[in-house]
Amino acid sequence: MSIYNTDVKFQLDSGATCNVITSQVLRRSHCDAEITQTSKILSMYNGTTVKPEGHCKVKMTNPKNGRRYLVNFEVLPGSPTPILGNKAIQQIVLKKGLEENIQSLNVEQTVVTKDSLLKQYPQVFEGIRCMPGNYHLTVDSSVKPVVHPPRRVALSLKVKVEAELQRLTELEIIEPLSKPAQWVSSMVTAPKPNGDIRICIDPKDLNCALQRSHCPIPAMDVRLPRLNKAKFSCTVDLRWGFWQADPEKIRAITEMPKPTDIKGVQRFLGLVNYLSKFLPKVSEVCKPLGQLTLKETEWCWLEVHDKVFQEIKLLVTDSPVLRYYQPEEELTLKCDASDKGLGAALLQQGQPIAFASRALTACEMEYVPIEKKLLAVVYGMERFHYYTYGRRVVVNSDHKPLESIVRKPLHMAPKRLQRILLRLHEYDVNLRYLRVTEMFLTDTLSRRAYLTDEAPSAFTEELTMINATNFRYLTALRLQDIAEHSKKNLALLELDRMICSGWPAKRDNVEPSLIPYFNFRNEFAAQQGVIYIVERVVIPLKLRKGMIKLIHSSHIGIEGCLRRARVFLYWPGMDAQVKNYIQSCKTCLSTGSKQQRKQ
């Protein structure tokens, strides 16, 4: 850049929030800009601070295009290289030059090592610290004291035990007792992996006599949200304990079985790809699994693939991937169901908080797709009840009909869906549809769900027992007759297939015989060979005329017959057929004509 016809070389720094020039450069370029006092303190890249001599505005010219600019500068003492910061780069449009001339600075970084910490803070690592105050154990006076005789110590451990007892005495952790005691517990010696001895006691009788303070221990889920803005994490005792993710939150991943085919590998890699922004260099680890998905590669799961699979699961469940729950941020629950399992993932800002999955029971596997998908939503909300209750939760599902079914009045849903929807009423759910391609996490969790030894919940057993035939208006024999004729009706067979496999998104993709059913596609259910629309039975073609005769057997009027039919019967065009039948009924016509003549 040119200042008063003097060329000045600047360094472009897109990370700088101000522009810097030296008084020496201003003098050399014969710049007469007025330097005013400033109270700013500049923080440099290496952590040091500098007090500027002042502030000034300098007229600059770009020699390439001749354009002039008025730029604000902080004036520094000494002879550092002048710097143009981010705003000046955009003002002068130097982006292209910035990309072509990138420089790096060698910043000396101090590597913190174990030895340096021990040397810097020796007092922290010396001796054994104690908590302030004394703790008193209250013993029930009605319990008779127990004195256990000393246990023998192996000859090979005797020297080490005596040395450890002496060390603990010197540290004032224990003290010798020279008088009789009412309670004596046996000493237990346990060898450590490094060859040292750990000395404990076995106070089982004393424990039974203690009067305890009954106080609930806070669960980890209660404590973790309070850490969401923490900047530092430390361990209480580096020798004995350390922080790790709650095993229940990652169980769905750690117990995920290995893939058995190419599609299984692709689903797993899709999950990993979604989390890759939180997993540095994970693409390198995934290479052996990626090679299995190539067309020219024959499927062969080897030991190296198993090793990589386990390594990736450890990476996915590591603490950098999981985040702390933050109450003020939007909470998202992704849910999915497959033929074999349910999957759920709780996220904020796209980063997972916890995973969950479970296998479907034998009865749940018979549910239609919309029932499985809604069951997955209930499973996710209840599994993460501590986070989801009492707040707005955005629920993502790849089953679009769920958006409409949750907005309909409860009585318009099939019986089993009604019971599942009732379960959701205690939560504030905003259900949104997402494409299958955006549901890698839960799709993989649901398809690779692990089997648990937990007994089915009361809700699961209740859903299993819900059967549309229990709410029937038709006899068991008539329902059996309907089921047999439904198996012979091609349109109803295709309808049953659609109910079980799922409907297309558009009417144009439906078979012509199913177009009349399309508008009610989310209200159908099939049980024991009979198709229901909510509580109404779908009647096969050959039985429809008989059903009209049945509802008109008492020869009531058109409106009365239609009200009766609409309660428990359904087929396309039913109302028109009922009207035509009644209008042509000879008994009704003859009776009606006689009444008219009498009048």
Q: What is the CATH number of the domain that holds 41?
A: 2.40.70.10
- Residue 249 is predicted with a pLDDT of 55
How many domains does the chain fold into? Answer: 5
| Residue count of the chain | 599
Cα separation, 479 vs 368, in Å, equals: 20
Domain region containing 419 = 331-465
The beta-carbon contacts of 458-466 under 8 Å, at least 24 apart in sequence, are 459/378, 459/423, 460/361, 460/364, 462/419, 463/364, 463/375, 463/416, 463/419, 463/420, 464/361, 464/363, 464/364, 466/415, 466/416, 466/419
517 lies in the same domain as 569: yes
Q: Which two tokens stand for residue 17?
A: 């929030």
- Look-up of token digits 């400033």: 38
In three-state secondary structure terms, 227 is helix
CATH number at residue 137: 3.10.10.10
β-pairing, 11-12 with 83-84?
parallel
- Residue 371 is predicted with a pLDDT of 85
263 lies in the same domain as 299: yes
- Residue 245 is predicted with a pLDDT of 47
- Residue 278 is predicted with a pLDDT of 59
458 lies in the same domain as 484: no
Residue 354 pairs in a beta bridge with 346
Q: Which two tokens stand for residue 583?
A: 């209008």
- Which string of DSSP letters, residue by residue, matches 395-458? EEES-THHHHHTTS-GGGS-HHHHHHHHHHTTSEEEEEE--GGG-HHHHHHHHTPPP--PPPPH
Domain boundary among 266, 284, 317: 317
In three-state secondary structure terms, 262 is helix
Neighbours of 51 (CB within 10 A): 11
CATH number at residue 306: 3.30.70.270
Q: Which two tokens stand for residue 219?
A: 């669960």
Does the residue 109 lie in any domain? no
What is the rounded radius of gyration, in angstroms, for the C-alpha atoms of the chain?
39
- Look-up of token digits 């085919």: 261
- Look-up of token digits 């059903």: 547
Does the residue 268 lie in any domain? yes
CATH number at residue 549: 1.10.340.70
- Which string of DSSP letters, residue by residue, matches 283-346? HHHHHHHHHHTSTTSPP---HHHHHHHHHHHHHHTSTTTS----TTS-EEEEEEE-SSEEEEEE
Does the residue 285 lie in any domain? yes
Helix or strand holding residue 481 (H, E): helix 476-488
- Residue 378 is predicted with a pLDDT of 92
Q: In the chain, what is the greatest distance between 2 CA atoms, to the nearest angstrom? A: 125
DSSP 8-state assignment for residue 277: G
Cα separation, 335 vs 356, in Å, equals: 10
Instruction: Tell whether the torsion through CA atoms of 372, 375, 381 and 384 is positive or negative.
Output: negative
506 lies in the same domain as 448: no
Q: Which two tokens stand for residue 208?
A: 């039974």
Closest by CA position to 331, among listed 316, 353, 310, 360 = 353
Does the residue 405 lie in any domain? yes
What is the value of pTM for the model shown? Answer: 0.48
Cα separation, 164 vs 347, in Å, equals: 49
442 lies in the same domain as 338: yes
Q: Which two tokens stand for residue 400?
A: 């679009």
- Residue 247 is predicted with a pLDDT of 57
SS (H, E, C) 345-373: EEEECCEEEEEEEEECCCCHHHCCHHHHH
Instruction: Tell whether the torsion through CA atoms of 491, 494, 499 and 504 is positive or negative.
Output: negative
Closest by CA position to 72, among listed 50, 49, 88, 61 = 88
Cα separation, 515 vs 283, in Å, equals: 47
340 lies in the same domain as 460: yes
Does the residue 13 lie in any domain? yes
β-pairing, 68-76 with 54-61?
antiparallel
197 lies in the same domain as 311: no
Q: Which two tokens stand for residue 344?
A: 């759920």
488 lies in the same domain as 444: no
CATH number at residue 355: 3.30.420.10
71 lies in the same domain as 165: no
- Taking the alpha carbons at both ends of the chain, their separation in whole angstroms is 111
Does the residue 119 lie in any domain? no
- Residue 472 is predicted with a pLDDT of 55
426 lies in the same domain as 492: no
Mean pLDDT in order along the chain per 10 residues (599 residues): 83 85 85 84 79 88 83 85 84 59 55 80 74 78 89 81 89 83 87 83 86 73 71 57 48 75 81 64 74 80 84 69 82 89 88 83 81 90 87 90 82 80 88 84 74 57 56 72 87 84 80 85 79 84 88 86 86 90 85 50
545 lies in the same domain as 566: yes
Q: Which two tokens stand for residue 362?
A: 């034998």
Distance of CA 350 to the CA centre of its chain: 9
Domain boundary among 271, 294, 317: 317
Closest by CA position to 366, among listed 482, 528, 476, 518 = 528
The interaxial angle of helices 544-551 and 558-568, nearest 10 deg, is: 120
Does the residue 367 lie in any domain? yes
518 lies in the same domain as 488: yes
Does the residue 256 lie in any domain? yes
Q: Which two tokens stand for residue 531?
A: 């198709």
Domain boundary among 445, 465, 485: 465
Closest by CA position to 529, among listed 569, 473, 468, 482 = 482
